[in-house]
Amino acid sequence: MANKKGSHQLTRADRIKIEALLKEGLSKAKIAKHLGVHRSTIYNELKRGEYEHRNSDWTTEIRYSPDIAQEKAEENLKVRGTQLKIGNDIAYANYIEDKIVNEDYSPAAVLGELKAQGREGEFNTTVCVATLYSYIDKGVFLKLTNKDLPVKKNKKRGYKKVRKQQARAAAGDSIEKRPEEIDKREEFGHWEMDSVIGKRGVSKNVLLVLTERKTRDEIIFKLPDHTDEAVVAALDRLERKYGADMFKQIFKTITVDNGSEFADVNGLERSILEEGEKRTHLYYCHPYSSWERGTNEVTNKMVRRKVPKGTNFDDKTDEEIEKIEGWINGYPRRIHGYRSAGELFTEELEKLA
């Protein structure tokens, strides 16, 4: 297949493989099955790359050339791109395709990152986001289709604030007591915490996700189970990593929901390094009010792009989870002028050093 998401467009490597399979005598149906494409794709491809070959006895036969097929495919991009700026800049088109197809970027993120990093001059042309979406809809690209795009954002839904009695630890403070300044996202060090569940009835492991409200930086732990002991142990690891004093500056407050995994408010707030001291302050949202942890909810959608619902987290390694965390923190965010959360988080840490 041409790319990881199942596009039926073929790459040069696919075409070389087709040539080799033809020489082995495989049928068109078997070649299609081998590449994971429809038979019609192979028939069209053979037509694209056919040429008349002259044998040593001066007889001729029709053969397939991967080079001819690739050249025609690239020329097709230019033809379809006639009067389209991107049709005359193959390098630019390939860069966009790679970012969206292989790195899960949105069209806006690709273009925004180039602009934010001052790299637009590396290519012969530039397009705006609306134009790029139009090109994708029209099938201008060789590999990139609408199937490769992230799910379009739904219209923001209105929420009605509620004031209900919370089923939470009696010692925990309600979000109503959280300082209003935290809502402004102007001060670093205020987090939201949530858990992401794997395949129900199968996955024992869960993900613990923490999102910093100002920078949107993400920390992800793979927990052995969905218990308050596992969550406390994760915060203990963070405190040991940063040290007691630095932890207090980085994790000033943490806002959570009323899940049982966050019930041990004393264990979560107390320092593992300084006996009798608090390391952070927890605030509990109202029941059924996920909007009170909006940063978590948005970032969880990014997590789900890498581990869809129904994923068995028991099969995921710590390295795979770290890779997801790195992708999220390296992703260019429009809200940050297409800088990444990781960049901003690092800058905030440098201020504390």
Pairing label, strands 218-223, 206-212: antiparallel
Per-10-residue mean pLDDT of the chain, 353 residues long, equals: 51 91 92 89 89 82 90 71 68 92 93 94 91 85 84 50 46 90 95 94 95 97 96 97 97 95 96 96 91 90 92 95 96 95 97 90
Q: What are the DSSP calls for 4-68, one per residue?
A: TT---PPPHHHHHHHHHHHHTT--HHHHHHHHTS-HHHHHHHHHHTEEEEEPTTS-EEEEE-HHH
What is d(CA 59, CA 129) in angstroms, rounded to the nearest whole number?
A: 54
Please report the pLDDT score of residue 4 as a whole number: 42
- SS3 of residue 47 by DSSP: helix
Nearest residue to 332 via CA among 348, 323, 343:
343
Predicted TM-score (pTM) of the model is 0.70
The pLDDT of residue 8: 56
**Which residues share a beta bridge with 210?**
193, 219
Q: pLDDT value at position 6?
A: 43
Q: Which two tokens stand for residue 341?
A: 């959360």
Looking at residue 150, its pLDDT comes to: 80
For position 151, what pLDDT does the model report?
65
pLDDT for 77 equals 66
- Give the span between the Cα atoms of 182 and 282, in whole angstroms: 13
Closest of 2, 22, 23 to residue 11, by C-alpha: 2
